[in-house]
Every structure is written in structure tokens, then in C-alpha cells.
């Protein structure tokens, strides 16, 4: 994984990519490697020869499905460097770029912006609090004072 600066890890919306599982975790690579190893050893054929139980084979198929899902959650490029905005088309990225802003913290309307509403169920008020800190402290020195946006922190 490439090292990125705090500025680049600061999402337009006030999230900090450096805290996100999609960005920093090795899980997606490990899940992909496990799937490849199962395929390389032809485990499904091994299971048939060994007459492994149908329950075990159903669990195996479920496990491979979970590993496939985990292998696809990786994010190597924060949104400020052209990434996908947390897994999909992001209206915040479009808004910031259309207004030629560095981030939502430069907008006078971010406190009441409905574009940030989709973040609230998972992140609460942390993104808005972070946007205030970025506005007040600057993008290069806010991160050490950030609100934790993720429940795993």
C-alpha cells in the first residue's frame, strides 16, 4: 500500500481514510489469497474424493462467498486522489469539484447540507465535527484532533 499524506487521506466529507478498514486493512488481499489457494489445491475435488459431508461443502461454499465479498472491499486510492468515494458514486465529490472547493469545510452550507445525511446513520455527527476542525485547524494539522468516525476505533 502506498503511503499517503494526511491531506490526501482527508476525504472531502470529513472522514479520514486512514481509519477506514477498506483503506488500511490487509483483509481483502488475504481473502483473495485464500480463495486462490483453495482453487490451486482443487479443494472441491478433494472434498468429493474424501466424501466430505454436504454440510461441510455448504459451509465451504458460504465461506468462499464471504471471502469473495471481503476481497472486493479494498480501497487503494482515497477520494482526494481519484478514488471511488467509499465504494460508489459520491455526490459529495461531485459537489466539491463542481464548486472548485478543496473540501466541504470550505462551503458555508456544510453544517446543514443534506448531502452529508447519508453518513449520519453510521458515523453520527463525527464528519461535521471533523469538517469544523479542518476549517479551523487546516487540512495538514486537523487529523490528530479528529473525531473517530468508525465503530472499530
34 exposure class (CB count in 10 Å sphere: 0-12, 13-18, 19+): middle
List Cβ neighbours of 67 (8 Å cut-off, separation of 6 or more): 31, 32, 34, 35
Contact 3, 109 (CB under 8 A): no
Each residue's pLDDT tens digit in the chain (153 positions)?
456 788 899 999 999 988 888 887 789 999 999 999 999 999 888 877 777 777 777 888 899 999 999 998 888 888 888 887 676 778 999 999 999 999 999 999 999 999 999 999 999 999 999 999 999 999 999 999 999 888 777
Helices (H) and strands (E) in the chain, counts: 8, 0
Longest pairwise C-alpha distance within the chain: 67
Among candidate residues 6, 10, 22, the one with its CA nearest the CA of residue 152? 22
Instruction: Show me where the domains of the chain are located.
Output: 6-24+75-145, 27-71
Side-chain half-sphere of 129: how many Cα atoms within 13 Å? 11
pTM of full prediction above 0.85: no
- How large is the C-alpha radius of gyration of the chain? 20
Position 149 scores a pLDDT of 87
Among candidate residues 113, 121, 112, 119, the one with its CA nearest the CA of residue 16? 119
Amino acid at each position: 500500500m502506498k503511503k499517503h499524506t494526511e491531506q490526501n487521506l482527508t476525504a472531502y466529507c470529513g472522514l479520514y481514510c486512514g481509519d477506514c478498514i477498506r483503506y488500511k486493512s490487509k483483509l481483502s488481499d488475504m481473502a483473495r489469497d485464500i480463495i486462490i489457494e483453495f482453487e490451486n489445491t482443487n479443494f472441491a475435488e478433494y472434498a468429493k474424493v474424501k466424501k466430505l459431508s454436504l454440510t461441510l461443502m455448504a459451509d465451504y461454499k458460504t465461506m468462499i462467498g464471504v471471502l469473495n465479498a471481503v476481497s472486493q472491499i479494498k480501497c487503494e486510492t482515497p477520494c482526494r486522489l481519484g478514488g471511488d468515494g467509499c465504494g460508489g458514486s459520491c455526490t459529495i465529490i461531485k459537489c466539491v469539484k463542481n464548486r472548485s472547493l478543496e473540501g466541504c469545510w470550505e462551503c458555508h452550507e456544510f453544517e446543514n447540507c443534506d448531502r452529508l445525511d447519508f453518513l449520519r446513520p453510521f458515523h453520527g455527527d463525527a464528519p461535521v465535527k471533523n469538517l469544523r476542525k479542518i476549517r479551523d485547524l487546516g487540512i495538514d494539522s486537523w487529523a490528530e484532533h479528529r473525531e473517530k468516525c468508525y465503530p472499530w476505533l
